[in-house]
Amino acid sequence: MKRRRMEFIFLFVLMLSVYIVLFGSFSSNLKLFSIGLYVLIILITMYSLMLEYRSSHHTLLWMYVLLFIPVFGYMFYLYSGQLYLKGYLFRTKRHRNREEWKKLVNQATSPDLSFLNDHQRAFSTFASNASQTAFSTNSNTYVLKNGKETFSEIIKKLKEAKQFIHIEYYIFRSDRLGKEIIHILMEKAKEGVEVLFIFDAAGSFSLAKSDIKDMISAGVKVQPFSPLKSGFFNQKFNFRNHRKIIVIDGEIGFVGGLNVGEEYLGRNKKIGFWRDTHLEVKGEAVYTLHTVFLMDWEYVSGEQVLNERAKMMQTHKPGDGAVQIVASGPDTQQGIMSDFYYSLISCATKSIWIATPYFVPDEAIRAAMKSAAQKGVQVRLMIPEINDGFLTQYASRSYFNELLECNVEIYLYKKGFLHQKVIIVDHDMATIGTANMDKRSFHLNFEVNVFLLGTQSINELVEDYEGDILESEKVEIDTYRKRGFVVKSKEAFSRLFSDVL
């Protein structure tokens, strides 16, 4: 809190100094003093930036912004969200989460992973050491393709809920689909089922206040994540909860790429067909997914609910393969999802198939993809032909040349908007979740992914990916190099914003 107040004091002093020097009729001594004060504040900020131990080019970039863009450079730095990636903003939540993950690990029994092959075992070793969540061999996963299949299953299971429904979404709209689900939540709450509902305040901006009031009146507990009205003054507005989680009765969980809205059913004429993938989880892994939700609920509500929950379910029913739930965001280890993606890609021996709507990878991910392709591993990247954002579309394409030169296959999905976030490695390892392959998902957003080793659901993902290839156009390097000056300029301009896309 003290640091936050100091930053606002610094911003006020910078603005006052500029006014005195450029616009006020003040003495020369006062103007010189104001210039000195301005320089001192910028130097202090630059020194604090150096102490964050970022990469050298990021540090230098922000230094240039602070030096050459008076006042507005400091304001942009202050509110970009960069300042607190390793700071105090989510410190309490982060410490609380770590303690809960430790309890979770202590409760869990070590799974028998002897059935894994060498590269699966290599990834599982990394995953177990890098995160505080264990693999489960007592879980089952089921792939849900596109909105119709996903929401049919979700609605069916919501109606069957007996004890509780815990639901969390980045985007939840008050359209026909949203109102149908809201009605079910209200009916269940009236029946005595506990319903906890988290929505991201920015992503769900179109969720009607009247719907929120109706839910609360019916007994649904509703909480926004990072309300915009207070977020501006503590920088939380730039850290969004991108998770999509439903947990029903502690037995069934849903997670994946689909938010709640008519467009996710392909009913938005402007967007057209919507290609996405979701996952239904049963068994032990649901407990971990539920933990992610409950830690978010404690944060937004102030209630202590984790300690009231029963101990980890002790199911001895064998599952399918190995399943791990991994949460990432400012409340976890910095950049952990990027590390998981890098490790998964690096373990490949035959193939790497990636599908993502937003492709703005960091240097490590690009290096892993290029290195794998140059070693003879088949590397395929699938992104939508037309994206929903100008900057994202052209920033993604700015990486094509270096990837194509290293024999990475790139496909543009043409049937509609591709929104699934899937990576398949060697047809026996995969991840599905909410995290895109971009720096916002890696460093700013709250995300959650499911990692799969040797499950039957991977076969479904492989089959679906092969079907998506048929709906895509392969990018040929010779054709790509013939793109015009205007397109190249768009790519170069958009790439400048890679760190915040």
Give me the active site residues, please. 242, 244, 249, 419, 421, 426
Give phi and psi for 207, each to the nearest 5: -70, 120
Q: Are 396 and 358 in contact (CB under 8 A)?
A: yes
Residues 6+ apart with CB under 8 A from 416: 266, 271, 272, 273, 274, 275, 384
Q: Are 139 and 289 in contact (CB under 8 A)?
A: no
Report how far residue 222's alpha carbon sits from residue 327's, in angstroms, rounded to the nearest whole number. Answer: 22
Would you say how long the chain is, in residues? 501
Question: Tokens in use for 351?
Answer: 């193939």
- Which of 21, 108, 128 has its CA nearest to residue 285? 108
Taking the CB of residue 312, how many other CB atoms lie within 10 A of it? 16
The string of DSSP letters for 57-70 reads HHHHHHHHHHHHST
Question: Tokens in use for 239?
Answer: 């850290």
Report how far residue 422's alpha carbon sits from residue 465's, in angstroms, rounded to the nearest whole number. Answer: 9
Question: Tokens in use for 136?
Answer: 């489960």
Report how far residue 283's alpha carbon sits from residue 191's, in angstroms, rounded to the nearest whole number. Answer: 25
Q: Are 203 and 223 in contact (CB under 8 A)?
A: no
Report how far residue 367's alpha carbon sits from residue 20's, in angstroms, rounded to the nearest whole number. Answer: 50
Tell me the H-state helices in 284-425.
Answer: 285-301, 336-346, 363-374, 390-397, 400-404
